[in-house]
Amino acid sequence: MALVVLLPLLLRTSPLQGTLCAVQACVAAAGVARSAYPSLRPVALVTFVFTFSWLGVAPAYQLATGRAAWRDYGVIAGPHTTTALVLMVLATVTLYVGFFRPGATPAVAPSPTATPLDPPRWVCLGYLFACLVLAPGAVAAGGGLAGMFSSRAERSAALVAQGISLQDAGGLQVALVSILPGALATAGCYLSLIRVLNQYRAAGWAEIGALDAGLLVLGMALVVVFANPFVNTRALSAAAIGSLVLLVVRPRTGRAGVWMAAVLLVATLVAYPAANAFRGTTSTQPQPQGLEFLGGQDFDGFQQAINAGEFVEDLGHSGGTYSFSGILYFVPRAVWADKERPASIDVAANRGYAFTNLSLPVHAELYLDFGPVGMTAVLFVLSAAGRRSDLDWAAGLGSRAALMAPYACLACLSIIRGPIGSNGPVYLTNLGLIGLGLLLARHRAAVPIPPVRSPG
């Protein structure tokens, strides 16, 4: 099906590049099908849907038309395009093998007497209390409560006007007003919802604790303020809000997987570019017509993957400095003087772009850092971890890996898009806070069933 849809575009490219594009799209489409049916594997599904749309459909269109973002129309016909396609196919095949490799023991369905994991109430309370402590400063820095519902551009301007930027105030100040409040709200709400759902599913509405219900309401209110799509990226808001929906609905069947795949395809190919309205920026350029948006700024991943190849040819592999700088984002530059900025900035600057705040597909950044072998190894490890979460989720287990799946799957939208230096501070913080709460979780005490006395 993927090949049929893309065939008119692929026929307009060179045979080698068209073949590589077809393989890329088919492997990604196969990943979508296998993760949606016969049982839903959410982490794999989001990974392959976004890969199909962003690094499957878009490259085919760009190669066929020569269109590219930022008016760099020569990049598509450059000497690094075929190499970028080969690396893209290698990365997608690696993900497919990591998620669906054969021979592993399938997850076992939970015992009827098993009790669910409960995140500690004190962790939920601590996260939300910490968010409340940071809230006044974060709201004031963003232009007041109204500023939290303005736009990303307006909030960024308000922060810069107060000297709150990486250049002026440093990473810690930016984290206190831009990252930590949203992360604490998201994690606190997520863990509180798990507690409330456990109580509801065990004994109904009447058994939900008043304190847990209050924490959930508070958490949802803070998520609306600090993780809404007006002043945050589209993917971050989708992960914060969408993960709560997945926890409630618990889609696991093949039918649910097919529906979720359809929704995600529409979201990544239609809603994703349309959501630019939340940015609050204006452009003098004419609006794209038809499929022209596939060659625009929202689909610059393939273009940046090509630029990464040019960067490596000019400067060589970095040896991991970009990835480690993103992962160890909490280390201040005063301690680590050679800490790198996000790799996408240097890749775009090397190409001569005036605007450098672009994406950089995670596989391209891993290639830039570690070469093709290192890229393959890291992607395999990451997909294997996602596979564990998927199998537990599909089997209906209440394990820590399964409970991570709703947020982890939607976080993949940004993780794939990259760069690590931009996404690491946000998603590693969110995943770390949720993971800590689940690590400390304990099974609920089983309700004792009184023995039935025999008559006489």
Neighbours of 177 (CB within 10 A): 21
Phi, psi of 360 (to 5 degrees): -160, 105
How many angstroms separate the CA atoms of 395 and 378, rounded?
A: 26
Percent of the chain clearing pLDDT 90 (strictly above): 65
Sequence-ordered list of residues with C-beta below 8 angstroms from that of 348, at least 6 positions apart, any chain: 304, 307, 355, 356, 358
Give residue 159's pLDDT: 83
pLDDT beyond 90 at 171: no
Mean pLDDT value across residues 12-21: 87
pLDDT per residue as tens digits for the range 96-120: 999 999 865 555 656 655 688 999 9
How many angstroms separate the CA atoms of 175 and 40, rounded?
A: 35
- CB burial of 236-273 (b: ≥16 within 10 Å; e: otherwise) equals bbbbbbbbbebbeeebbeeebbeebbeebbebbbeebb
Mean pLDDT value across residues 266-294: 68
Written as one string, the DSSP assignment of 353-393 is: -S-------HHHHHHHHHHHHHHHHHHHHHHHHHHHHHHHH
Average pLDDT in the chain: 88
Residue type, 247: L
pLDDT beyond 90 at 3: no
How many angstroms separate the CA atoms of 185 and 130, rounded?
A: 9
Phi, psi of 316 (to 5 degrees): 85, 175
Give residue 273's pLDDT: 74
Return the higher-pLDDT residue of 356 and 347. 347
pLDDT per residue as tens digits for the range 46-70: 999 999 999 999 999 999 888 888 8
CB-neighbour burial class of residue 183 (10 A; exposed 0-12, middle 13-18, buried 19+): buried
pLDDT per residue as tens digits for the range 143-158: 899 989 988 888 888 8
Structure tokens, 271: 């809603």
How many angstroms separate the CA atoms of 290 and 287, rounded?
A: 10
Question: Of the ranges 7-11, 238-242, 337-341, which is most confident?
Answer: 238-242
pLDDT per residue as tens digits for the range 402-422: 999 999 999 999 999 999 999
pLDDT category, 201, cuts 50, 70, 90?
very high
List residues bridging with 350 in a β-sheet.
none
pLDDT beyond 70 at 395: yes
Residue type, 257: G
Return the higher-pLDDT residue of 183 and 277. 183
Query: Are the C-beta atoms of residues 190 and 243 closer than 8 Å to each other?
Result: yes
Structure tokens, 59: 């490259």
pLDDT category, 127, cuts 50, 70, 90?
very high
Give residue 30's pLDDT: 97
Mean pLDDT value across residues 172-184: 88
pTM over 0.85: yes
Is the peptide bond between 229 and the residue preceding it cis, with omega within 30 degrees of 0?
no
For helices 400-417 and 362-394, the axis angle rounded to 10 degrees is 160
Using the structure block, give the residue that is written with the tokens 């994690």: 187
Alpha carbon separation from 4 to 12, 26, 262, 320 (Å, rounded)? 14, 10, 18, 39
Query: Are the C-beta atoms of residues 424 and 344 closer than 8 Å to each other?
Result: no
Give residue 456's pLDDT: 43
Using the structure block, give the residue that is written with the tokens 């489409």: 29
Is the peptide bond between 38 and the residue preceding it cis, with omega within 30 degrees of 0?
yes
Query: Are the C-beta atoms of residues 275 and 232 closer than 8 Å to each other?
Result: no
pLDDT category, 446, cuts 50, 70, 90?
low
Mean pLDDT value across residues 331-345: 88
